[in-house]
Amino acid sequence: MVFQPNERLHLGAEAEVWSGLWMGRQAVRKIRRKRGWRHPNLEKRLGFRRLLSEARLLIRARRVGLEVPAIWDVDLEKGILIMEMLPGRPLIELLRDEKSTQDMIRNSLYNSGALVRRLHRLAITHGDLSTNNILIDDDLSAHLVDFGLASIDYEVERFGIDLHVIDEILGASHPSIEGGIDIFLEGYLDEESRLGPAKEQTGGVVPSADAVMKRLEQVRSRVRYHG
């Protein structure tokens, strides 16, 4: 695995992410960080499973044309993924940029919601839908990254929680964006209307967009009640 690092993009509790070159192409290297407090055997098994799951879900999404990075190389023993570097900048930067117009903001949020619905229709929940993990390119198209917490699911609760995460982040981190979550959810619902009912997957039937929206309202109510 030949990777020439350039710049560290992220250092988190679970992984370290670098940009660089792989086989002459712009790439991203993600290295899972070992958790010293875990037993070495357990740490190895967990790291192996999570990395394998992330790679499989990215391949599953990419195969049907979703805007996610292509997997170029995997080293399960060392906990390394080499992925395509996608175009664009994080949604968080666009939303905080004073030069961003209202149309740019609206289109970015709407396209992000539409992409998340396409992901959900594959029975994949992202698990960490933050404005850092959505990239927006020059055409204002959305791309999703960081599938470290993603999973296959058919329970409506997990889909509702996915939307609740982005709802909370837009409210807390981007309070100046009025109605941001409404635009995002508009894109989510419109994508379902455009594509029709989701096809049945090998593990079952994916909850409809309307069902996920109802569960989002229930999650919001629970949070308000306990808050």
- Residues 66-111 pLDDT 10s: 999 999 999 988 889 999 999 999 999 999 999 999 999 999 999 9
Q: Say if CB 136 and CB 161 are below 8 A apart.
A: no
Q: To which H or E segment does residue 189 belong?
A: helix 180-195
- What is d(CA 171, CA 194) in angstroms, rounded to the nearest whole number? 28
Could you give the angle at the alpha carbon of 33 between the alpha carbons of 14 and 24, nearest 5°?
A: 100
Closest CA to 28 of 88, 83, 89, 86: 83
Identify the residue with better confidence: 16 or 224. Answer: 16
> What does the pLDDT look like over 183-226, one tens digit per residue?
999 999 999 999 999 999 889 999 999 999 999 999 999 876 65
Q: Which residues pair with 17 in a beta bridge?
A: 10, 30
**162 given a catalytic annotation:** no
pLDDT at 154 over 60: yes
Q: Which residue among the candidates 128, 146, 153, 162 is catalytic per the annotation?
A: 128
Domain residue ranges in the chain: 3-84, 89-226
SS3 assignment, position 131: coil
CATH superfamily of 89-226: Transferase(Phosphotransferase) domain 1 (1.10.510.10)
Token pair listed for 122: 């594959």
Q: Say if CB 103 and CB 139 are below 8 A apart.
A: no
How far CA 50 is from CA of 5, 90, 204, in Å, comes to 23, 24, 23
Per-residue confidence (pLDDT) for residue 32, from 0 to 100: 84
Percent of the chain at pLDDT exceeding 90: 80
Q: Say if CB 150 and CB 127 are below 8 A apart.
A: yes
Distance of CA 147 to the CA centre of its chain: 6
Q: What is the pTM of this model?
A: 0.92
Q: Is 55 exposed, middle or buried (0-12, 13-18, 19+ CB in 10 A)?
A: middle
Mean pLDDT of the chain: 92
Token pair listed for 124: 């994949």
- What is d(CA 113, CA 189) in angstroms, rounded to the nearest whole number? 8
- What CATH code is assigned to 3-84? 3.30.200.20
